[in-house]
Amino acid sequence: MKIGLFGGSFDPVHLGHLFVARAAREEAGLARLFFIPAAQSPFKPEAQPAPAAERLRWLRLALAGDTTAEVDDQEIRRGGPSYTIDTVRAYARTYPAAELFYLIGADQTAQLRLWREAGELARQVQFLVIPRPGDGPAELAAPFSGRVLRGVPLGVSSSEIRARLKAGLPVEHLTPPAVAEALANNRLYL
Ligand code: ATP
């Protein structure tokens, strides 16, 4: 069984994320796909993301009715900096026979070698890279293996959504309607 793992801050989740998920499922033939929000990104130690409970709630709203994607809150429950290798080891224990794939946007490929226990991570998973507008070529360098998906680059980011909300601009075209409504009903990013 091919299992896809999609980690990120999801602060908030947006159409780019959903697009990545669809491309990975279709092009790599994933049987299951887990969205795994981080408690704290090790690369953004001073960042103060929206509360984990909210980021989880938005993800669940975004994926409601989607039978091929699930939300996994293990990194939130663990707390502290979220290291992908810990999460990947947990999946390897739970699904010993599965082939594990880790989804990333092209902006992440250059810093993969800085991820904790990068060599071990490279042995445990194959990466699925989705091109992202504004980012250079998305090739994976050794020791990492996997493939670059075709997809169709979608220029949406969480930072753009946060900036627009701060400026009082609409975000309905950037995130699913239920998430846009939830964002409009709180003032987290003001
Ligand atoms: P921010 O703007 O706050 O940096 P983000 O939009 O990159 O956030 P994250 O939650 O940090 O969102 O991203 C999680 C993963 O999804 C990362 O691997 C990122 O590269 C990827 N990703 C996010 N948006 C896109 C997109 N539009 N196209 C391809 N990959 C994306």
- The pLDDT score that the predictor gives to residue 36 is 98
User: Three-state SS for 108?
Assistant: helix
- The pLDDT score that the predictor gives to residue 122 is 98
- The pLDDT score that the predictor gives to residue 78 is 97
- The pLDDT score that the predictor gives to residue 151 is 74
Fold of 2-154: Rossmann fold (3.40.50)
- The pLDDT score that the predictor gives to residue 136 is 66
Write out the H or E segment, with its range, that includes residue 68: none
Cα angle 81, 84, 87 (rounded to 5 degrees) comes to 100
pTM (2 d.p.)? 0.96
- The pLDDT score that the predictor gives to residue 120 is 98
**Residue with CA at minimum distance from ligand 1 atom 30:** 105
Ligand 1: residue of 11, 15, 17 to mutate (most ligand atoms within 8 A of CB) is 17
Could you tell me the strand order of the sheet in which 2-8 lies?
Answer: 69-71, 32-37, 2-8, 99-105, 126-130, 146-148
Ligand 1 geometric centre to CA of 95 (Å): 26
**Residue with CA at minimum distance from ligand 1 atom 22:** 105
Output the tens digit of pLDDT for each of the chain's 190 residues. 999 999 999 999 999 999 999 999 999 999 999 999 999 999 888 888 999 999 999 999 999 989 889 999 999 999 999 999 999 999 999 999 999 999 999 989 989 999 999 999 999 999 999 988 877 667 899 999 999 998 777 889 999 999 999 999 999 999 999 999 999 988 888 8
Residue pair 15/54 in contact (Cβ under 8 Å)? The answer is no
Residues lining ligand 1, CB < 6 A?
8-11, 16-17, 20, 104-105, 107-108, 130, 132, 154, 156-159
- The pLDDT score that the predictor gives to residue 11 is 97
Write out the H or E segment, with its range, that includes residue 69: strand 69-71
Ligand 1 atom nearest to CA at 103: 18
